[in-house]
A and B are shown apart, each in its own frame.
Chain A
Amino acid sequence: MSPAAALELATANGIANRSETVVDTALSVRELTVSYGEKPAVFSVDVTVPDSTLTAVIGPNGAGKSTLLKAVLGIVPTLSGEVRVFGQPFAKARHRVAYVPQRASVDWDFPTRVLDVVMMGLYRELGLLRLITGHHRQTALECLDRVGMADFAGRQIGQLSGGQQQRVFLARALAQNADLYLLDEPFAGVDAATEKAIIEVLKDLRAEGRAVVAVHHDLATVADYFERVLLINVRKIAEGPVSEAFTSETLQATYGGRLATAHIDQLRLPAA
């Protein structure tokens, strides 16, 4: 490999950037506003996600959780605001971010196999024309193995259960070898074993110094799975460590009357 190519590869993997800029903020969002028509879906939201953390994004349906992720990723246009990833504008640090969309957002009868989907995570590295080698296949298989799906590599994706689909999506993100992972409802409609497998992978990512942000619905598991929360309902309600930001007051403010007080009492909230 030529030095230039090596440098290019290093940059693509985020190695060069990491050594140049010392940052402990994985994601920083300032005054982000997104609107469909004239009704803001996300209004002037600030977010700070430190390195090596698991953050849950929590809020009722239509609160703008998915929209927030999509706006950060540049999938939906923003009206205002700034997104910085590892201290750089998003466009420059895009290669350090991996996205796991809602699994319902794609057609699972698409003609492709599990391994091919994971391989999509390597397309940036492969470019347009480079041929797929055993090395790439090995990488994709390792990612599948991390989510317990190595035996399913040759399956058509239409044969998978919901939990398995979710695992494949996660494996594709792992293949990108990113430093910031944004997941849209990774636990929605999956079985218990899959939920466990996914959270183990997410905790491993954190242990490796990466940051994970996941839209999450199950309030009962927030304290178990995550250390930080972001509560939003169009506007940001609260943000910070679970012990400080995930309280009955903030939940009441986020969900309004939609969350019965009795339900809140059942959650294992940190003592106020």
Chain B
Amino acid sequence: MLAGFIEALFLQSGYNAALVAIGAGLLGIAAGAGGTFLFLRKRALVSDAVAHATLPGIGLAFIIMVLLGGDGRNLTGLLIGSAITAAIGLYLIDWIVRRTRLAEDAAIGAILSVFFGLGIVILTVIQTMNRGRQAGLESFLLGSTAGMLFQDAVIIAAGGALAVTLVIVLRRPMTTVAFDPDYAAASGLNVRALDLAMMGLVMAVTVIGLKVVGLILIVAMLIIPAVTARFWTDRTERVVIIAGVLGGVAGYIGAALSASAPALPTGPIIVLVSFAIFTVSLLFAPHRGVLAALLTHRRFQVRVHHRQGLLALARNEPIHDPMTLEVLRREGLIRKDRVATDAGKAQAAKALRDEKRWEIARQIHQDEAVSDRYDGLTPIEDVLTRDEIDDIDRRIGPPVVVESAG
């Protein structure tokens, strides 16, 4: 299986596997980048409703094409049909939120289930029709890459390119709307139109992704890469880029994995690969990861002991806590006999002044953000502006030399 995976990874597993891997990779890039704004706008679940609303369109397009005497399984026709009902579902959610007292989550729940139910009914009706090789429509639920054609990959590539272009062109207005919709509206941006464009983007990704991952799992390809990327950066444009890359990697590796064994479904495997990357990020990302949080806590503990020790030195108080003694000794601030060194005295004086500044700062800044930054070692210069510190220093008075602790 490993050999098979490596072959697939380097596109050596045959024509179909290579097509699927490339198609899934492109889809992943488009979905990751396009889904980022959905995540930032906190409207991730709308995409799930949009995806489910594609199902009746697929069924109706099939029926119409058969009735017109064509091939009911023409992919372009099916995708156009799915886009139309997805757009209707999207419009209805928007309408419900604006015209009724229902909140968006209720609207999403209603539209998602009703459209999906309608789609299932239509698909069942098609099963009873005697025309047009109907078998296989249900593959749009979870995707099916077995019979993927070159033409399908071209559609994914074209749709993906369109989605990425839209992201590049609209990145500034979409960022503004996601961060601060009121400000965006005041500066002349059409928030509603931009939201619709964002949803159009999601719809495009969903429709081109039907073949590979299916409509039930496409939401994972839109959202997981963005959520994962957020762990690694604090900047919007980087979230977009990282999400696109992670989505592409997950799509490509997932497709290669599923090609390496006979019974592995492509879409679900892609989602699981995506989830694996998410888990690694959740645990190991710097700053926002779980491990980083643990380390930060540990470092915080050392800082607290460091600070408490310095303040005890400055105030000439005896130190009993073994960890405090250990921390101070390790940094050469006290001697073995617990007497402060010169460096220890100097730092103790500085700590005392910083502590006084903090004390006043925490009285003035009652909001939590400043108080949260009080961790015992962060110099106040890192947290407050110069005029704020000057203001505090005026209240304290001039620096006082701390009498050395003996």
Contacts and interface: CB of A to CB of B under 8 A. Distances in A.
B369 interface: yes
Contacts of A160: 369
Contacts of A189: 367
Contacts of A156: 234
A16 to B, nearest CB: 18
A111 B236 contact: yes
Interface in A70-101: 70, 73-75, 94-95, 97, 99, 101
B185 A73 contact: yes
Given A112-B236, A126-B172, A105 B182 contact: yes
A94 B183 CA distance: 12
A76 to B, nearest CB: 9
**Which label, helix, strand, loop or mixed, suits the secondary structure of the B interface?**
helix
Interface string A152-163: 100010111111
Contact of B388 (A70, A112, A194): A194
B180 interface: yes
Contacts of B373: 159
Contacts of A161: 365, 367, 369-370, 383-384
Q: Taking each of A70, A94, A112, A193, which has the highest tally of chain B beta carbons within 10 Å of its own beta carbon? A: A193
B365 A163 contact: yes
Interface residues of B, number: 38
A113 B370 contact: no
Interface string A95-122: 1010101000111001111001100100
A207 interface: no
A110 B369 contact: no
B388 A128 contact: no
A58 to B, nearest CB: 21
Interface in B330-378: 364-365, 367, 369-370, 373
Interface string B251-285: 00000000000000000000000000000000000
A148 B369 contact: no
A112 B188 contact: no
B299 interface: no
A75 B236 CA distance: 24
Contacts of A152: 385
A193 B360 CA distance: 13
B176 interface: yes
B179 interface: yes
Contacts of A4: none
Given A112-B236, A152-B385, A193 B186 contact: no
B230 interface: yes
Given A75-B186, A101-B180, A148-B386, A116 B235 contact: yes
Contacts of B308: none
B67 interface: no
B182 A75 contact: yes
Contacts of A75: 182, 185-186
A94 B188 contact: yes
A197 B180 contact: no
A272 to B, nearest CB: 35
A111 B233 contact: yes
Nearest to B101: A37
Contact of A128 (B173, B182, B369): B173
Given A111-B230, A159-B369, A163-B365, A95 B179 contact: no
B239 A123 contact: no
Interface in B183-200: 183, 185-188
A193 B388 contact: yes
B170 interface: yes
A192 B391 contact: yes
Q: Which 9 A-B pairs have the closest CB atoms?
A: A99-B186, A162-B367, A73-B186, A156-B234, A193-B388, A161-B370, A161-B369, A75-B185, A193-B391
Interface of B: 40, 42, 168-170, 172-173, 175-176, 178-180, 182-183, 185-188, 230, 233-236, 238-239, 364-365, 367, 369-370, 373, 383-388, 391
13 contacts: A95-B188, A99-B186, A111-B234, A116-B236, A120-B179, A120-B180, A120-B183, A129-B168, A149-B385, A159-B369, A161-B383, A163-B365, A191-B365
Given A110-B179, A124-B188, 17 more contacts: A73-B185, A74-B185, A75-B185, A75-B186, A99-B187, A111-B40, A111-B234, A116-B235, A120-B175, A128-B173, A148-B385, A148-B387, A149-B385, A159-B373, A160-B369, A176-B187, A191-B365
